[in-house]
Amino acid sequence: MGGDPADRAGLPVSGPAAVNLVERAEPHLPGLVRLRRHLHAVPEVGLRLPRTQAALLDALSGLGLAIRTGSACTSVVAVVEGQLPGETVLLRADMDALPIGEDSGEPFASDNGCMHACGHDLHMAGLVGAARLLTEVRSQLRGRVVLMFQPGEEGHDGAQVMLDEGLLKTTATPPVAAYALHVGPGRAGTMWTRPGAILAGMGTLRITVRGAGGHASAPHDTLDPVPVLAEIVLALQSHVTRRHRVFDPVVLSVTRLQAGDAVNVIPGSATLEASVRALSADAVGQLRTQVQDLASHIARAHGMEAGSVFADHYPVTCNDPAETEFAVRTASRVLGRNAVDPAHPALMGSEDFSKVLARVPGALVFMGTTPPDLDPATAPGVHSPQARFTDRTLPLHAALLAQLAFDRLASGS
């Protein structure tokens, strides 16, 4: 786990104090595992997570942090104040679970119909661990570290809620850098990231075909929107593969179809909804225009009308190149050079941490957390009811976040 210590030999230790936080992290493992498993067993969904918030406040108590909670959501913002003058760095962990019934077989599995299937329980425990490490070296810490515990990442735009509540005004000086770590399938203790677009922007598409309903026995007396909608579904798949550059990818998945209420009635309208992901604003703009034309022309060919609504939700998650290079150097110290992939392909998932990175230069990095009894290549992925993550990597998780903040503050602007 974390690479051979020999991999770390010869790497420059950044920061004037040459503090190595990974050596301090291992003793925190038992407490972080207890916290993670408690959070995993009591997951909550959305922007209101009272039990999760209470557990975090208890875990942070006694560290001498300045703490405030949100009003529009149950967020927690804590500040580790160093004893040396300096700037501000932000670290993020998301708090919410998914409305998925758990089928992982873990002894600490949730039984309330929700599940931490995206590893947010590890994110929270890892950031608590980082807080504990940073407080241990407070006398050598330049500036301050803002700890952002965020509800509502899973489609509820919690990052924007926290930004609207003044997240970046928590301290007198705004953050000069922001980092987040996301766990996922992969060899435990490995890390991957990339400069530029690392996650896709996300939007939703809704198309409604309006015809004229009637009796199912007499389709010739109606304008049946159902086969027209089916034609549009197939045309959308061809459109994405034939009108968009393969090097600027778009993923469009039709996930919902709705038409009619009775089996013997041809409905007057039919609707589809789709999830749309893209790695550039240009691709989103092209898709928005062309899809509306596509649906309208297909419907008109059948004597009907189609209306389209395209809603943007999350922008593309873009890593700052300089901050990403710094994160890679730091991770190579903590995990070992052979454990770090600095140029991983972008993923088509989406993140509202993108909204923080749009205002503060920083980086999102990923850490492998597949349990040793599973093959990372075939292990259930995030958002699966069978998803499992090892908590043995929590000391590395905490050390990497803390080292990023400590070294970034030590280096200055």
Instruction: Give the model confidence (pLDDT) of 40-60 as tens digits.
Output: 999 999 999 999 999 999 999
Task: Indicate the pLDDT class of residue 12, thresholds 50, 70 and 90.
Answer: very low
Identify the pLDDT of residue 406.
98
Looking at residue 11, its pLDDT comes to 41
pLDDT higher than 50, residue 154? yes
Exposure on the CB side of residue 119, measured as CA atoms within 13 A: 27
pLDDT per residue over 14-46, tens digit each? 444 468 999 999 999 999 999 999 999 999 999
Mean of pLDDT values over 70-82 = 98
User: Rounded to the nearest 5°, which phi and psi values hold at 72?
Assistant: -80, -15
What is the spatial distance between Cα 51 and Cα 64, in angstroms, rounded to a whole number?
Answer: 22
Does the 5-199+316-411 domain belong in CATH 3.10.20.30? Answer: no
* Mean pLDDT, residues 86-94 taken together: 98
So what's the pLDDT on residue 204? 94
Angle between the 394-411 and 321-335 helix axes, to the nearest 10 degrees? Answer: 130
pLDDT tens digits along 123-142: 999 999 999 999 999 999 99
DSSP 62: T
State how far Cα 25 lies from the chain centre: 25
Residue 239 clears pLDDT 70, i.e. is over it:
yes
Backbone angles phi, psi at 240, to 5 degrees: -65, -40
Please provide the DSSP assignment of 291-307 as one string.
HHHHHHHHHHHTT-EEE
Confidence at 413, pLDDT banded by 50, 70, 90: low
Residues of CATH 3.40.630.10 domain(s) within the chain? 5-199+316-411
Confidence bin at 381 (pLDDT 50/70/90): very high
In which element (H, E) is residue 141 found? none
CA distance from start to end of the chain: 32
Q: State the burial class of residue 67 (Cβ atoms within 10 Å of its Cβ: 0-12, 13-18, 19+).
A: middle
Within its chain, how far is the Cα of 122 from the centroid? 13
Mean pLDDT for the stretch of residues 208-222: 97
pLDDT category of residue 288 using cuts at 50, 70 and 90? confident
CA dist., res. 62 & res. 280, Å (int)? 44
Longest dimension (CA), the chain: 82
Residue 96 near residue 156, CB atoms below 8 Å: yes
Task: Say yes or no to pLDDT of 411 above 80.
Answer: yes
Per-residue pLDDT at 284: 87
**pLDDT at residue 15, as a whole number:** 45
Q: How confident is the model at residue 344 (pLDDT cuts 50, 70, 90)?
A: very high
pLDDT of res. 184: 95
Cα–Cα dist 154/374, whole Å: 26
Q: Give the mean pLDDT of 95-104.
A: 98
Strands, E, within 359-407: which ranges? 362-368
336 — pLDDT class (breaks 50, 70, 90): very high
Q: Regarding the domain delimited by 205-314, which CATH topology (the fold level of the hierarchy) does it fall under? A: Alpha-Beta Plaits (3.30.70)
Reduce the DSSP state of residue 360 to 3 states and report it: coil
Residue pair 189/393 in contact (Cβ under 8 Å)? The answer is yes
Query: What does the pLDDT read at residue 4?
Result: 47
Output the average pLDDT for the chain.
94
Partners of 265 in the β-ladder:
215
Percent of the chain surpassing pLDDT 90 = 91
